Amino acid sequence: MSQNSADVIEWHIFENPGADSSATERQAIHMGPFATEEECRTALASLKQIPQFRDGALEMRKKSRRREKRIRMRLAVQISRLTAAEKTWTAHTVDISSMGARLADFGEPLKLGEFLAIRCGQREAVFRVAWIGPAGTPTAGHIGVECLSPETNIWDFDLSARTDDEPLFQEIAIARAVQRKLLPREKPVLRTLEYSGKCIQARTLGGDYYDFLDLGQGCVGFVLADVAGKGVAAALLMANLQGSIHNRIGNGDLPSLLAGVNEHIYRHTVPEVFATLFFGCYDDSTRSLLYVNCGHSPPLLLRSSGSVERLQATATVLGLFENWDCSLAETCLQSGDVLSLFTDGVTETFGADGKEFGEDRLLRVLQQSRELDCNAILKKVETVLDEFRSGDQLQDDSSLIVACGK
C-alpha cells in the first residue's frame, strides 16, 4: 500500500453567485474534490448540460492540501438513493478513507452530485457522488463518494492509527468478518417469549459475545459475555469462549458446562485474562429461567406489575481461578415481563458532563418502551445511548439482549 503525506492538488467545481442571481437565494454549489483535472472538466461539462448552469455560473478551481490517508480495502456495502430508499443494491469498496471511498461493481448508473445512503455492516451514512471514472482511464467503472458525516466512520476502522502494513490490515478486516459470524444468525422460535440481541464494537475487533443456543425440547440458552480488554486480544478470547461453550453443549448440566469452560480458559490463557458471563436456560413449556451469573452485570427483569428484579452473580468470573464453582438460580418470565441482559459498555458510557449512563437511565428507557416489541426496545436503547454519548468514538463494546414474555 502506498501512502504519501506530501501536498497534493485537488480540483473542485464552485458556483459563482455573482454569475447567477438565483444562487444568492440558495446555498451555492460546491463539488469535489476530484483527483485529476480531467475528471473535474468531465464533471463540469456534464453539469453545463443543465440549463441553469449554461451561462457560466460554474467554474473550476484547484486547491492544495495534505494527501488523505487512503487504504485499499474490499468491503461489501449496501447502497440506496435518498430519493428511492426502498431500492437497494450491492457494491464493494476499492479503497477507503475517513472522508469517503472509491466504489466498484455498483450496478446502477449514477450521476455526479447524487446523494446516496451507504451501509457497511451495522453502520450507515449519507454520501455524495464526487467523481465518476471516465471510460478508457484506470478509474473507469469506479465512482468516488464523499461522506457528509465522516465522524460516523461507517468502515469501523481507526484509519488514523494505521501504518503501511496492508496485508495485516486486510487480515484484521477478515478477522472482523469471521468474528461477526460467531454471533447468532438464527433464533430458535419460542411460543412464550420473543427476544433479540445486538453487539456494537468499540474497535474493529471486540470482546463482547452473545448467543442464542438451541438446547432442544423447547429450551433456549441465552448467553452474554464480556471479555477483559479490547481489540485483537479480546477478540481471540471471545472466539475461544464461543468455541468452548459450543463444544460442551449437551454434555452435562449447566454448572458442569461452565466449570469446563473455566478450566479451558484458565489453562490456555495468560493469568490476567478472564470473562464475565451470564448463561440462562429458558424452558418454553414452564416459562422457567435457570441461570448462572459469573460476575456479570446483573440483568434487569421488569415485571408486568412494575417491580424490578436484578439477577445477581451466582459465581465468580471465568478463567481467573483454577478452583471454580457456581450455584444455579431460577426465576420465571410471565406475559408482559421484560428481561434485559447488557454488558458494562452500556451502563459505563460517558456523557458530555463526564457522568456515566448508568443502570438507572437504562432502567428508565426500558420502562418507557416496555410496550414495544423487543427489536424496537433494542433500537430505543441504542438511540438514547447515541444521544447521551460524549463524542462519536465508543469507549467500550456495548451489547444488549432483550426478551419479552408473551
Question: pLDDT tens, 216-261?
Answer: 999 999 999 998 876 666 777 788 888 899 999 987 789 999 999 9
Among the three residues 66, 99, 116, which one is the final residue of a domain in this structure? 66
- Do 151 and 112 sit in the same domain of this protein? yes
- Do 84 and 44 sit in the same domain of this protein? no
- Do 365 and 240 sit in the same domain of this protein? yes
Q: Which residue has the cell 500500500?
A: 1
Q: Is 32 exposed, middle or buried (0-12, 13-18, 19+ CB in 10 A)?
A: buried
The model's confidence at residue 159, banded by pLDDT at 50, 70 and 90, is low
pLDDT at 386 over 90: no
- Mean confidence (pLDDT) of the chain: 82
Q: Return the higher-pLDDT residue of 380 and 65.
A: 380
| Residue 212: CATH number of its domain | 3.60.40.10
> Against a cut of 0.75, is the pTM above it?
no
The whole-number pLDDT of residue 185 equals 79
Nearest to 301 by CA among 312, 289, 311: 311
pLDDT at 180 over 70: no
Query: Hey, which residues does 59 pair with through a beta bridge?
Result: 14
| Residue 141: CATH number of its domain | 2.40.10.220
- Do 317 and 390 sit in the same domain of this protein? yes
The answer to whether position 184 is within a domain reads yes
Sheet holding 288-294, edge to edge: 208-216, 219-227, 275-283, 288-294, 329-332
The answer to whether position 169 is within a domain reads no
DSSP line for 285-308: TTTEEEEEEESPPPPEEE-TTS-E
**Inter-axis angle of helices 254-268 and 231-248, to 10 degrees?**
140
The answer to whether the CB of 341 falls within 8 A of the CB of 224 is yes
How far apart CA 347 and CA 361 sit, in angstroms, is 8
- Residues 70, 71, 74: CA angle, nearest 5 degrees: 130
- Do 123 and 186 sit in the same domain of this protein? no
- In this predicted model, what pLDDT tens digit does every residue of 29-88 receive, in sequence order? 667 667 677 877 877 777 676 666 666 678 888 776 545 567 888 888 999 998 888 889
How far apart CA 49 and CA 61 sit, in angstroms, is 19
Query: Hey, which residues does 97 pair with through a beta bridge?
Result: none
Percent above pLDDT 90 for the chain: 39
The whole-number pLDDT of residue 8 equals 59
The model's confidence at residue 3, banded by pLDDT at 50, 70 and 90, is very low
**Inter-axis angle of helices 166-182 and 231-248, to 10 degrees?**
30
- Residue type (1 letter), 194: E
- Do 157 and 187 sit in the same domain of this protein? no
The CA distances from residue 133 to 39, 47, 118, in Å, are 7, 16, 19
The whole-number pLDDT of residue 52 equals 62
Phi, psi of 248 (to 5 degrees): -105, -5
The answer to whether position 59 is within a domain reads yes
Q: Return the higher-pLDDT residue of 41 and 175.
A: 41
Longest dimension (CA), the chain: 82
- In this predicted model, what pLDDT tens digit does every residue of 322-374 receive, in sequence order? 999 999 999 999 999 999 999 998 998 888 888 899 999 999 999 999 999 99
The answer to whether position 113 is within a domain reads yes
How far apart CA 362 and CA 357 sit, in angstroms, is 7
The answer to whether the CB of 318 falls within 8 A of the CB of 258 is yes
The answer to whether position 1 is within a domain reads no
How far apart CA 197 and CA 184 sit, in angstroms, is 9
- Do 127 and 246 sit in the same domain of this protein? no
The answer to whether position 2 is within a domain reads no
The answer to whether position 38 is within a domain reads yes
- Do 383 and 267 sit in the same domain of this protein? yes
Among the three residues 164, 190, 205, which one is the final residue of a domain in this structure? 164
What is the number of domains present in the chain? Answer: 3
Percent above pLDDT 70 for the chain: 79
Q: Average pLDDT in the 103-117 region? A: 85
- Do 182 and 78 sit in the same domain of this protein? no
- Do 117 and 179 sit in the same domain of this protein? no
The whole-number pLDDT of residue 36 equals 73
- Do 157 and 180 sit in the same domain of this protein? no
- Do 213 and 115 sit in the same domain of this protein? no
The answer to whether position 362 is within a domain reads yes
How far apart CA 368 and CA 378 sit, in angstroms, is 12
The whole-number pLDDT of residue 26 equals 46
The answer to whether the CB of 159 falls within 8 A of the CB of 71 is yes
| Long-range CB contacts for residues 366-370, cutoff 8 Å, separation at least 24 | 366/300, 366/302, 366/338, 366/340, 367/302, 370/302, 370/338
Among the three residues 135, 164, 193, which one is the final residue of a domain in this structure? 164
Q: Is 132 exposed, middle or buried (0-12, 13-18, 19+ CB in 10 A)?
A: buried
Structural domain span for residue 51: 7-66
HSE-CB of 159 using CA atoms within 13 angstroms: 21
